Amino acid sequence: AIRKMTGNGDISIKRLKERAEDEHQNVAMPLMPDKPKQVTVGFDPAEYCVLENVGTVELRCVLDRGSLAVSTEVTVTYTTIADTAAEYEDFIPTQGVLTFGPSESEKFIEIGIVDNDEYEDDEQFFVKLTNLDAYCADNPGQKLPAQFKEGGSVATVMIIDGDK
């Protein structure tokens, strides 16, 4: 009876403790969902604010290869789009192609900002990414899944006038 009161001889208590420890060790903790097997490209950040006298603005474009295990190369085209800011009067229109090599995850786009001596309200223009292609670096004929980052295919550049 004394063994039962102290728990030394009660096999059922030992078994319950062992079972609880086993169940605790087997609990899977959800950390992060698996990354998709696709390439994602976009601006980060997607909004820029510069003074008119800055000279140039540099936009950062990032690449995430997800959980793809193959060596990938990625190309994406970009172009500026006038809005309240006018081409050549407020910014230099720019277009081109970014090519990400297998070990690259970011690229930069440089756009000239025109400084004039006239007071203007703040103005903006856009830079749009299009024609996204991803392919196996060892086999360029093998296309891979790719998409633009949510909300990241268009960057907005706000030009703040410094003239008074």
Cβ proximity of 58 and 108 under 8 Å: yes
Q: What is the pLDDT of residue 97?
A: 98
Q: Which of 106, 99, 110, 108 is nearest to 132 (CA)?
A: 99
pLDDT in tens, 71-108: 899 999 999 999 999 999 999 999 999 999 998 999 99
pLDDT in tens, 60-73: 999 999 877 788 99
Confidence of residue 119 (pLDDT cuts 50, 70, 90): confident
Per-residue confidence band for 58, with pLDDT thresholds at 50, 70 and 90: very high
Task: Check: CB of residue 155 under 8 Å from CB of residue 60.
Answer: no
- How far is the C-alpha of 100 from the C-alpha of 14, rounded, in Å? 59
Radius of gyration of the chain (CA): 28
Please, are residues 125 and 157 in contact by the beta-carbon 8 Å criterion?
Answer: yes
Set out the domains of the chain in order of their start, with CATH numbers.
Answer: 39-160 (2.60.40.2030)
Residue-averaged pLDDT of the chain: 85
Q: How confident is the model at residue 25 (pLDDT cuts 50, 70, 90)?
A: low
